[in-house]
Structure 1
Amino acid sequence: MASHYRQMQVATVAGHGAAAFDSASRAVLTLHMHNKAGVKMTMPTGSVRVGDVIRLRFGLGPFSVHGSCDVTEVVDEPRRRGFTYHTRPDHPEEGEESFFVDWVADDSVVVRLHSNSRPRRWFMRLGGPVSRLAQALINRRYLRVVRKIVAAEAPGQ
């Protein structure tokens, strides 16, 4: 098994101003961004909280990948919101992933995703570069989805 964790960071400007910040934050903290991107995630409440277990499913039927994660951090500040989770033993990857929305000084709303992970299951190790590509594609899909959500909900975006 590979001992090294791989890091991946992606970011996008989702919009500008308070309405965009609220919309993007809601999309991240309610897992709406994930679900709209095709990663079905469930949690015990309507918004992530520290200690929650998030369950996920990605794929179709017998080709679905299942796993769960523990929410280890939630940030709800006037200009920064988001959360971090750590994968549980049933997850195909081992590591952490963070999803944050920052309302920066120039009024831009920036959505940032950061992951630090390595394959845990044989099929993820076997997939090698294909697994990394799939992770990169889903992260980019998350960003595309949150931009669409903000455009639909925040006036003037």
Structure 2
Amino acid sequence: MDPKRYLNAEPTYPEVGATRTGDLPPGYHHVRRRYPAGDAAGFTRAADALMTWRVHAALGLSPRATAPRAAPGEVVVNRLGVGPIGLLAPCRVIWTVEEDRRAGFAYGTLPGHPEKGEESLLLEVGDDGAMTFAVTAFVRPGRWYSRLGWPLTVLAVEFFCGRYAAALRRYAR
């Protein structure tokens, strides 16, 4: 599961960067979710956990990355599973943002990922001091088994959105 083996891999979809503008391409399942994530006091802790893959680890994924912090061009391979049975999901970080009141990134699928598409994870503090977590994604099946189980895959995507938000709220405390 060495993420370096994917450094020269190209994304498996042509619409690289579409989550930045929010203009999601047709032909994919679209996800646009916003969740309350605490308040401005917890922003630095939550943002750091998001940008350093700890939120992914809190979900039960085993992230292995080419860098300790999300940055454009870096690769992360998330593994879901126990023991020898596991699913690998290699991704490349497409864009990042780290500002006083916004932090997050988007990553896109690489060959071997069960899906094709891109997902952005963005933490923001509003003018009222409330922190929100937004997930924007476009995905479609990338492997035979994800095509076969597509309805379950869509449910899994939705499930993980909520889990990301819950993990961020814990880090924001």
Q: What TM-score, normalized by structure 1, do the two folds share? A: 0.88
- 1:60 offset after TM fit, Å? 2.1
3-state SS of 1:34 partner: helix
3-state SS of 2:133 partner: strand
- 1:20 offset after TM fit, Å? 1.1
3-state SS of 2:66 partner: coil
**Residue 55 of structure 1 corresponds to which residue in structure 2?**
77
3-state SS of 1:4 partner: coil
- 1:38 offset after TM fit, Å? 1.0
- 1:142 offset after TM fit, Å? 1.1
**Residue 86 of structure 2 corresponds to which residue in structure 1?**
64
> What is the distance in 2 between the residues matched to 1:117 and 1:125?
12
> What is the distance in 2 between the residues matched to 1:103 and 1:77?
10
Matched, 1:37 2:37: no
**Which AA in structure 1 matches 2:29?**
R
**Which AA in structure 2 matches 1:119?**
P
Question: When the two structures are aligned, how many residues end up with a matched partner?
Answer: 148
Matched, 1:146 2:168: yes
> What is the distance in 2 between the residues matched to 1:40 and 1:115?
21
> What is the distance in 1 between the residues matched to 2:91 and 2:150?
22
1:76 alignment partner, one of 83, 86, 98:
98
3-state SS of 1:101 partner: strand
Matched, 1:123 2:145: yes
> What is the distance in 2 between the residues matched to 1:77 and 1:149?
18
2:30 alignment partner, one of 1, 4, 7:
7
Q: What TM-score, normalized by structure 2, do the two folds share? A: 0.81
CA contact (8 A) 2:42 2:171 kept: no
Structure 1 stretches lacking a partner, 5+ long: 152-157
**Which AA in structure 2 matches 1:114?**
T
> What is the distance in 2 between the residues matched to 1:136 and 1:64?
20
- 1:62 offset after TM fit, Å? 4.4
